[in-house]
Structure 1
Amino acid sequence: MEPRKHRVNAQVRRDALLKATVEVAAENGIAGVTHRAVTEKAGLPLATVSYFFDSITDLAIEALRVFTEADVARQRALAEALRDQHSEPDEIAVAFAEAAAARMPESLALFEVFLHAARAPELRAAVAEAITAGRQVAAEAARAAGAEDPDAAALLALAHGYAFHTIAAPDTVDPGALRRAFRAQFLGGLLESGQVDLAVRLATQDR
Protein backbone atom coordinates (compact mmCIF):
# COMPACT_ATOMS: atom_id res chain seq x y z
CA MET A 1 0.00 0.00 0.00
CA GLU A 2 1.42 3.37 -1.04
CA PRO A 3 1.90 5.84 1.85
CA ARG A 4 -0.49 8.78 1.78
CA LYS A 5 0.92 12.24 1.08
CA HIS A 6 0.45 14.98 3.63
CA ARG A 7 1.52 18.52 4.37
CA VAL A 8 4.76 19.05 6.29
CA ASN A 9 3.12 19.39 9.70
CA ALA A 10 1.11 16.24 9.03
CA GLN A 11 4.30 14.43 8.04
CA VAL A 12 5.81 15.32 11.40
CA ARG A 13 2.84 13.70 13.15
CA ARG A 14 3.07 10.65 10.92
CA ASP A 15 6.78 10.28 11.65
CA ALA A 16 6.02 10.60 15.36
CA LEU A 17 3.57 7.72 15.08
CA LEU A 18 6.17 5.53 13.37
CA LYS A 19 8.78 6.33 15.99
CA ALA A 20 6.31 5.66 18.77
CA THR A 21 5.33 2.35 17.19
CA VAL A 22 8.94 1.17 17.30
CA GLU A 23 9.25 2.21 20.94
CA VAL A 24 5.98 0.57 21.98
CA ALA A 25 6.84 -2.65 20.11
CA ALA A 26 10.19 -2.78 21.88
CA GLU A 27 8.60 -2.16 25.28
CA ASN A 28 5.44 -4.25 25.02
CA GLY A 29 5.70 -6.44 21.94
CA ILE A 30 3.59 -6.15 18.81
CA ALA A 31 0.49 -7.18 20.73
CA GLY A 32 1.00 -4.00 22.76
CA VAL A 33 0.94 -1.79 19.66
CA THR A 34 -2.54 -0.30 19.99
CA HIS A 35 -4.06 3.01 18.95
CA ARG A 36 -3.98 4.25 22.53
CA ALA A 37 -0.45 3.06 23.35
CA VAL A 38 1.07 4.55 20.18
CA THR A 39 -0.72 7.89 20.34
CA GLU A 40 0.05 8.32 24.04
CA LYS A 41 3.72 7.59 23.36
CA ALA A 42 3.70 10.06 20.47
CA GLY A 43 1.75 12.68 22.42
CA LEU A 44 -0.99 12.80 19.80
CA PRO A 45 -4.81 12.50 19.83
CA LEU A 46 -6.22 8.98 19.80
CA ALA A 47 -7.74 9.40 16.32
CA THR A 48 -4.38 10.20 14.72
CA VAL A 49 -3.58 6.59 13.79
CA SER A 50 -6.85 6.24 11.88
CA TYR A 51 -6.17 9.49 10.03
CA PHE A 52 -2.93 8.15 8.56
CA PHE A 53 -3.41 4.38 8.48
CA ASP A 54 -6.28 2.02 7.72
CA SER A 55 -5.38 -0.28 10.61
CA ILE A 56 -2.90 -0.76 13.43
CA THR A 57 -1.35 -3.57 11.37
CA ASP A 58 -0.73 -1.15 8.51
CA LEU A 59 1.02 1.16 10.96
CA ALA A 60 3.24 -1.69 12.22
CA ILE A 61 4.11 -2.70 8.65
CA GLU A 62 4.98 0.87 7.70
CA ALA A 63 7.18 1.23 10.78
CA LEU A 64 9.01 -1.96 9.78
CA ARG A 65 9.42 -0.70 6.21
CA VAL A 66 10.80 2.68 7.29
CA PHE A 67 13.25 1.10 9.74
CA THR A 68 14.41 -1.43 7.15
CA GLU A 69 14.91 1.18 4.44
CA ALA A 70 16.96 3.38 6.74
CA ASP A 71 19.09 0.46 7.95
CA VAL A 72 19.66 -0.86 4.44
CA ALA A 73 20.63 2.59 3.16
CA ARG A 74 23.10 3.01 6.02
CA GLN A 75 24.78 -0.35 5.48
CA ARG A 76 24.73 -0.09 1.69
CA ALA A 77 26.56 3.24 1.92
CA LEU A 78 29.08 1.56 4.21
CA ALA A 79 29.66 -1.27 1.71
CA GLU A 80 30.15 1.21 -1.13
CA ALA A 81 32.59 3.31 0.90
CA LEU A 82 34.64 0.26 1.92
CA ARG A 83 34.74 -0.99 -1.67
CA ASP A 84 35.79 2.41 -3.00
CA GLN A 85 38.57 2.53 -0.39
CA HIS A 86 39.74 -0.96 -1.45
CA SER A 87 39.45 -2.07 2.16
CA GLU A 88 40.89 -5.38 3.30
CA PRO A 89 38.40 -8.21 4.02
CA ASP A 90 39.21 -8.04 7.72
CA GLU A 91 38.45 -4.30 7.78
CA ILE A 92 35.12 -5.02 6.12
CA ALA A 93 34.32 -7.74 8.65
CA VAL A 94 35.06 -5.33 11.50
CA ALA A 95 32.99 -2.53 9.96
CA PHE A 96 29.96 -4.70 9.32
CA ALA A 97 30.15 -6.37 12.72
CA GLU A 98 29.87 -2.89 14.23
CA ALA A 99 27.10 -1.87 11.82
CA ALA A 100 25.10 -5.02 12.57
CA ALA A 101 25.25 -4.57 16.34
CA ALA A 102 21.91 -4.35 18.12
CA ARG A 103 20.42 -0.86 18.33
CA MET A 104 17.71 -0.08 20.83
CA PRO A 105 14.80 0.17 20.53
CA GLU A 106 14.88 -0.56 16.80
CA SER A 107 16.46 -4.02 16.88
CA LEU A 108 14.18 -5.27 19.64
CA ALA A 109 11.12 -3.97 17.77
CA LEU A 110 12.36 -5.71 14.61
CA PHE A 111 12.62 -9.06 16.36
CA GLU A 112 9.21 -8.56 17.94
CA VAL A 113 7.74 -8.15 14.46
CA PHE A 114 9.62 -11.20 13.19
CA LEU A 115 8.31 -13.37 16.03
CA HIS A 116 4.78 -12.02 15.76
CA ALA A 117 4.75 -12.83 12.03
CA ALA A 118 4.90 -16.52 12.93
CA ARG A 119 1.39 -16.12 14.33
CA ALA A 120 0.15 -13.30 12.10
CA PRO A 121 0.26 -14.12 8.37
CA GLU A 122 -0.62 -10.53 7.45
CA LEU A 123 2.87 -9.48 8.58
CA ARG A 124 4.83 -12.13 6.69
CA ALA A 125 5.10 -10.32 3.37
CA ALA A 126 6.59 -7.26 5.08
CA VAL A 127 8.98 -9.43 7.10
CA ALA A 128 10.02 -11.31 3.96
CA GLU A 129 10.79 -7.98 2.26
CA ALA A 130 12.90 -6.91 5.25
CA ILE A 131 14.84 -10.18 5.17
CA THR A 132 15.38 -9.94 1.42
CA ALA A 133 16.72 -6.39 1.76
CA GLY A 134 19.01 -7.47 4.59
CA ARG A 135 20.40 -10.32 2.50
CA GLN A 136 21.10 -7.96 -0.37
CA VAL A 137 23.17 -5.74 1.91
CA ALA A 138 24.98 -8.77 3.35
CA ALA A 139 25.84 -9.89 -0.16
CA GLU A 140 27.18 -6.42 -1.00
CA ALA A 141 29.40 -6.51 2.09
CA ALA A 142 30.79 -9.92 1.17
CA ARG A 143 31.40 -8.89 -2.42
CA ALA A 144 33.24 -5.82 -1.18
CA ALA A 145 35.46 -8.28 0.72
CA GLY A 146 36.11 -10.18 -2.51
CA ALA A 147 33.63 -13.06 -2.34
CA GLU A 148 32.01 -13.61 -5.74
CA ASP A 149 29.00 -15.71 -4.70
CA PRO A 150 28.43 -15.10 -0.98
CA ASP A 151 25.92 -16.94 1.17
CA ALA A 152 23.91 -13.85 2.03
CA ALA A 153 21.28 -15.80 3.96
CA ALA A 154 23.93 -17.21 6.30
CA LEU A 155 25.52 -13.80 6.81
CA LEU A 156 22.22 -12.16 7.72
CA ALA A 157 21.30 -15.05 10.01
CA LEU A 158 24.63 -14.59 11.80
CA ALA A 159 23.97 -10.88 12.27
CA HIS A 160 20.41 -11.41 13.48
CA GLY A 161 21.39 -14.22 15.83
CA TYR A 162 24.21 -12.19 17.34
CA ALA A 163 21.97 -9.15 17.82
CA PHE A 164 19.19 -11.27 19.31
CA HIS A 165 21.53 -12.90 21.81
CA THR A 166 23.03 -9.52 22.70
CA ILE A 167 19.58 -8.15 23.50
CA ALA A 168 18.35 -11.24 25.37
CA ALA A 169 21.47 -12.17 27.34
CA PRO A 170 24.24 -9.59 26.85
CA ASP A 171 26.55 -11.14 29.45
CA THR A 172 26.80 -14.33 27.36
CA VAL A 173 27.97 -12.62 24.16
CA ASP A 174 31.61 -12.22 23.20
CA PRO A 175 31.99 -8.76 21.60
CA GLY A 176 34.30 -10.19 18.91
CA ALA A 177 32.15 -13.19 18.00
CA LEU A 178 30.32 -11.59 15.07
CA ARG A 179 33.52 -10.27 13.54
CA ARG A 180 35.05 -13.75 13.69
CA ALA A 181 31.91 -15.27 12.19
CA PHE A 182 31.95 -12.77 9.34
CA ARG A 183 35.66 -13.47 8.77
CA ALA A 184 34.95 -17.20 8.55
CA GLN A 185 32.14 -16.63 6.05
CA PHE A 186 34.27 -14.28 3.95
CA LEU A 187 37.14 -16.77 4.06
CA GLY A 188 34.93 -19.60 2.86
CA GLY A 189 33.53 -17.45 0.06
CA LEU A 190 37.01 -16.44 -1.09
CA LEU A 191 38.21 -20.05 -1.16
CA GLU A 192 35.12 -21.20 -3.04
CA SER A 193 35.66 -18.49 -5.66
CA GLY A 194 39.32 -19.49 -6.10
CA GLN A 195 40.79 -16.35 -4.55
CA VAL A 196 43.33 -18.25 -2.50
CA ASP A 197 45.82 -15.39 -2.10
CA LEU A 198 43.16 -13.09 -0.69
CA ALA A 199 41.87 -15.85 1.55
CA VAL A 200 45.37 -16.48 2.91
CA ARG A 201 45.81 -12.76 3.58
CA LEU A 202 42.54 -12.67 5.48
CA ALA A 203 43.39 -15.81 7.45
CA THR A 204 46.77 -14.45 8.55
CA GLN A 205 45.59 -11.00 9.59
CA ASP A 206 45.41 -10.21 13.30
CA ARG A 207 42.32 -11.57 14.99
Structure 2
Amino acid sequence: MTRRYDPERRDRIIDAAIDCIAEDGVAGTSHRKVAARAGVPLGSMTYHFENMDDLLVEAFTRFAASIGDAFERRLAAARDRDAAVEAIVALIHGDLQRSRREHVLTYELYTLAARRAAFRSITHRWMRESRRALERHFAPDTARALDAYVEGAALHIALHPDPQPPALTRAAVARLASGG
Protein backbone atom coordinates (compact mmCIF):
# COMPACT_ATOMS: atom_id res chain seq x y z
CA MET A 1 0.00 0.00 0.00
CA THR A 2 1.41 3.39 -0.98
CA ARG A 3 0.67 6.58 0.85
CA ARG A 4 -0.48 9.56 -1.08
CA TYR A 5 1.99 12.43 -0.93
CA ASP A 6 0.06 15.49 0.22
CA PRO A 7 2.38 18.13 1.68
CA GLU A 8 -0.40 20.73 2.02
CA ARG A 9 -2.74 18.45 3.98
CA ARG A 10 -1.90 19.88 7.41
CA ASP A 11 -2.42 23.44 6.15
CA ARG A 12 -5.74 22.50 4.53
CA ILE A 13 -6.89 21.00 7.82
CA ILE A 14 -5.98 24.19 9.71
CA ASP A 15 -7.77 26.35 7.12
CA ALA A 16 -10.80 24.06 7.27
CA ALA A 17 -10.83 24.33 11.06
CA ILE A 18 -10.84 28.13 10.79
CA ASP A 19 -13.77 27.93 8.38
CA CYS A 20 -15.68 25.55 10.67
CA ILE A 21 -15.12 27.78 13.70
CA ALA A 22 -16.30 30.82 11.72
CA GLU A 23 -19.48 29.01 10.70
CA ASP A 24 -20.34 26.87 13.74
CA GLY A 25 -18.22 28.22 16.59
CA VAL A 26 -15.75 26.19 18.58
CA ALA A 27 -18.58 24.17 20.16
CA GLY A 28 -19.84 23.13 16.72
CA THR A 29 -16.42 22.20 15.33
CA SER A 30 -15.44 18.54 15.32
CA HIS A 31 -12.72 16.37 13.82
CA ARG A 32 -15.31 14.89 11.49
CA LYS A 33 -16.53 18.30 10.22
CA VAL A 34 -13.01 19.60 9.73
CA ALA A 35 -11.87 16.45 7.89
CA ALA A 36 -14.87 16.61 5.58
CA ARG A 37 -14.31 20.30 4.82
CA ALA A 38 -10.58 19.71 4.20
CA GLY A 39 -11.29 16.69 2.00
CA VAL A 40 -9.06 14.40 4.05
CA PRO A 41 -9.61 11.05 5.75
CA LEU A 42 -10.71 11.32 9.37
CA GLY A 43 -7.51 9.52 10.43
CA SER A 44 -5.48 12.48 9.15
CA MET A 45 -6.80 14.52 12.02
CA THR A 46 -5.06 12.48 14.70
CA TYR A 47 -1.99 12.00 12.52
CA HIS A 48 -1.42 15.76 12.28
CA PHE A 49 -2.95 16.92 15.58
CA GLU A 50 -2.80 15.22 18.96
CA ASN A 51 -6.33 16.35 19.87
CA MET A 52 -8.91 19.03 19.14
CA ASP A 53 -7.19 21.59 21.37
CA ASP A 54 -3.97 21.10 19.40
CA LEU A 55 -5.86 21.84 16.17
CA LEU A 56 -7.66 24.83 17.70
CA VAL A 57 -4.39 26.31 18.95
CA GLU A 58 -2.91 26.02 15.45
CA ALA A 59 -6.03 27.50 13.83
CA PHE A 60 -6.26 30.46 16.20
CA THR A 61 -2.50 31.05 16.01
CA ARG A 62 -2.79 31.33 12.22
CA PHE A 63 -5.82 33.60 12.47
CA ALA A 64 -4.21 35.90 15.06
CA ALA A 65 -1.05 36.12 12.94
CA SER A 66 -3.09 37.26 9.92
CA ILE A 67 -4.69 40.05 11.95
CA GLY A 68 -1.33 40.97 13.49
CA ASP A 69 0.24 41.16 10.04
CA ALA A 70 -2.39 43.68 8.92
CA PHE A 71 -1.74 45.72 12.07
CA GLU A 72 2.02 45.64 11.48
CA ARG A 73 1.70 46.65 7.81
CA ARG A 74 -0.54 49.63 8.63
CA LEU A 75 1.75 50.99 11.33
CA ALA A 76 4.98 50.27 9.46
CA ALA A 77 3.70 52.40 6.58
CA ALA A 78 3.03 55.38 8.87
CA ARG A 79 5.89 57.88 8.56
CA ASP A 80 5.03 60.08 11.56
CA ARG A 81 2.73 60.30 14.56
CA ASP A 82 -0.16 61.90 12.60
CA ALA A 83 0.05 59.15 10.00
CA ALA A 84 0.12 56.58 12.82
CA VAL A 85 -3.10 58.04 14.24
CA GLU A 86 -4.70 57.74 10.78
CA ALA A 87 -3.39 54.16 10.49
CA ILE A 88 -5.06 53.28 13.80
CA VAL A 89 -8.36 54.78 12.64
CA ALA A 90 -8.08 52.79 9.39
CA LEU A 91 -7.41 49.62 11.39
CA ILE A 92 -10.42 50.14 13.64
CA HIS A 93 -12.87 51.14 10.90
CA GLY A 94 -11.40 49.11 8.03
CA ASP A 95 -9.16 46.14 8.70
CA LEU A 96 -10.92 45.08 11.91
CA GLN A 97 -14.37 45.47 10.32
CA ARG A 98 -13.74 43.41 7.18
CA SER A 99 -16.19 40.64 7.91
CA ARG A 100 -18.56 39.02 10.34
CA ARG A 101 -16.39 35.90 9.91
CA GLU A 102 -13.38 37.63 11.44
CA HIS A 103 -15.50 39.00 14.27
CA VAL A 104 -16.75 35.52 15.12
CA LEU A 105 -13.22 34.10 15.03
CA THR A 106 -11.92 36.91 17.24
CA TYR A 107 -14.66 36.51 19.85
CA GLU A 108 -14.38 32.71 19.83
CA LEU A 109 -10.65 33.10 20.54
CA TYR A 110 -11.31 35.63 23.32
CA THR A 111 -13.80 33.25 24.92
CA LEU A 112 -11.32 30.37 24.89
CA ALA A 113 -8.55 32.64 26.16
CA ALA A 114 -10.72 33.69 29.09
CA ARG A 115 -10.97 30.04 30.10
CA ARG A 116 -7.73 28.34 29.11
CA ALA A 117 -4.04 29.23 29.28
CA ALA A 118 -3.09 27.68 25.92
CA PHE A 119 -5.35 30.18 24.17
CA ARG A 120 -4.31 33.07 26.43
CA SER A 121 -0.78 32.62 25.15
CA ILE A 122 -2.10 33.31 21.63
CA THR A 123 -3.86 36.51 22.71
CA HIS A 124 -0.82 37.59 24.76
CA ARG A 125 1.41 37.17 21.71
CA TRP A 126 -1.12 39.06 19.58
CA MET A 127 -1.21 41.94 22.10
CA ARG A 128 2.58 41.99 22.43
CA GLU A 129 2.97 42.22 18.64
CA SER A 130 0.32 44.93 18.40
CA ARG A 131 2.02 46.98 21.09
CA ARG A 132 5.39 46.49 19.41
CA ALA A 133 3.94 47.88 16.17
CA LEU A 134 2.43 50.82 18.07
CA GLU A 135 5.73 51.47 19.86
CA ARG A 136 7.23 52.49 16.51
CA HIS A 137 5.37 55.76 17.05
CA PHE A 138 4.35 55.93 20.72
CA ALA A 139 5.83 55.40 24.18
CA PRO A 140 5.18 51.93 25.68
CA ASP A 141 2.45 53.08 28.10
CA THR A 142 0.70 55.01 25.33
CA ALA A 143 1.00 52.01 23.00
CA ARG A 144 -0.62 49.81 25.64
CA ALA A 145 -3.54 52.24 26.08
CA LEU A 146 -3.97 52.57 22.32
CA ASP A 147 -3.93 48.80 21.88
CA ALA A 148 -6.71 48.42 24.46
CA TYR A 149 -8.69 51.19 22.77
CA VAL A 150 -8.31 49.53 19.35
CA GLU A 151 -9.75 46.27 20.72
CA GLY A 152 -12.62 47.94 22.52
CA ALA A 153 -13.52 50.37 19.75
CA ALA A 154 -13.44 47.61 17.13
CA LEU A 155 -15.80 45.53 19.27
CA HIS A 156 -18.22 48.43 19.77
CA ILE A 157 -18.22 49.30 16.08
CA ALA A 158 -18.82 45.68 15.12
CA LEU A 159 -21.71 45.13 17.51
CA HIS A 160 -23.42 48.48 18.01
CA PRO A 161 -26.44 49.25 15.80
CA ASP A 162 -25.24 52.87 15.44
CA PRO A 163 -21.43 52.62 15.46
CA GLN A 164 -19.27 55.62 16.19
CA PRO A 165 -18.01 57.50 13.12
CA PRO A 166 -14.31 57.66 12.19
CA ALA A 167 -14.12 61.30 13.33
CA LEU A 168 -14.98 60.30 16.90
CA THR A 169 -12.45 57.46 16.77
CA ARG A 170 -9.80 59.83 15.37
CA ALA A 171 -10.40 62.31 18.21
CA ALA A 172 -10.15 59.56 20.86
CA VAL A 173 -6.97 58.10 19.32
CA ALA A 174 -5.40 61.56 19.08
CA ARG A 175 -6.22 62.25 22.76
CA LEU A 176 -4.69 58.93 23.83
CA ALA A 177 -1.68 59.49 21.58
CA SER A 178 -1.04 62.89 23.11
CA GLY A 179 -1.33 61.56 26.64
CA GLY A 180 -4.45 63.64 27.30
- Do the two structures share a fold, i.e. TM-score over 0.5? yes
Residue 117 of structure 1, CA deviation: 3.2
Question: How far apart, CA to CA, are the structure 1 residues paired with 2:69 and 2:143?
Answer: 17
Match of 1:150 among 118, 121, 141: 141
3-state SS of 1:33 partner: coil
Consecutive unaligned residues of structure 2, counting only runs of 5 or more, are none
2:97·2:158 contact (CA, 8 Å) conserved in 1? yes
The equivalent residue for 1:204 is: none
2:112·2:119 contact (CA, 8 Å) conserved in 1? no
Do the aligned partners of residues 179 and 32 (structure 1) sit closer, same or farther apart at CA in structure 2, a change above 3 Å counting? farther
Question: How far apart, CA to CA, are the structure 1 residues paired with 2:146 and 2:56?
Answer: 26
Q: How many residues align?
A: 172
Question: How far apart, CA to CA, are the structure 1 residues paired with 2:130 and 2:5?
Answer: 31
1:102 and 2:101 are equivalent in the alignment: no
Question: How far apart, CA to CA, are the structure 2 residues paired with 1:8 and 1:97?
Answer: 46
The equivalent residue for 2:121 is: 128
The equivalent residue for 1:201 is: none
Question: How far apart, CA to CA, are the structure 1 residues paired with 2:57 and 2:177?
Answer: 33
Question: How far apart, CA to CA, are the structure 2 residues paired with 1:44 and 1:69?
Answer: 25
1:29 and 2:21 are equivalent in the alignment: no
Match of 1:182 among 159, 168, 173: 173
1:107·1:163 contact (CA, 8 Å) conserved in 2? no
Over the aligned positions, Cα root-mean-square deviation in angstroms equals 2.6
Residue 35 of structure 1, CA deviation: 0.6
2:31·2:42 contact (CA, 8 Å) conserved in 1? yes
3-state SS of 2:42 partner: coil
2:109·2:119 contact (CA, 8 Å) conserved in 1? no
1:17·1:38 contact (CA, 8 Å) conserved in 2? yes
1:65 and 2:61 are equivalent in the alignment: yes
3-state SS of 2:146 partner: helix
Which aligned runs of 4 or more in structure 1 are off by greater than 6 angstroms? none
Match of 2:156 among 144, 162, 165: 165
Do the aligned partners of residues 71 and 128 (structure 1) sit closer, same or farther apart at CA in structure 2, a change above 3 Å counting? same
2:17·2:56 contact (CA, 8 Å) conserved in 1? yes
Do the aligned partners of residues 152 and 16 (structure 1) sit closer, same or farther apart at CA in structure 2, a change above 3 Å counting? same
The equivalent residue for 1:194 is: none
3-state SS of 1:160 partner: helix
1:75 and 2:71 are equivalent in the alignment: yes
Question: How far apart, CA to CA, are the structure 1 residues paired with 2:52 and 2:154?
Answer: 27
Instruction: Summarize the alignment of residues 107-122 of structure 1 with structure 2, pairs less than 5 Å apart.
Output: 107-119=103-115, 121=116
3-state SS of 2:7 partner: helix
- Percentage identity across aligned positions? 27
What TM-score does the superposition give when structure 1 sets the normalisation length?
Answer: 0.69
Do the aligned partners of residues 36 and 168 (structure 1) sit closer, same or farther apart at CA in structure 2, a change above 3 Å counting? farther
2:157·2:164 contact (CA, 8 Å) conserved in 1? no
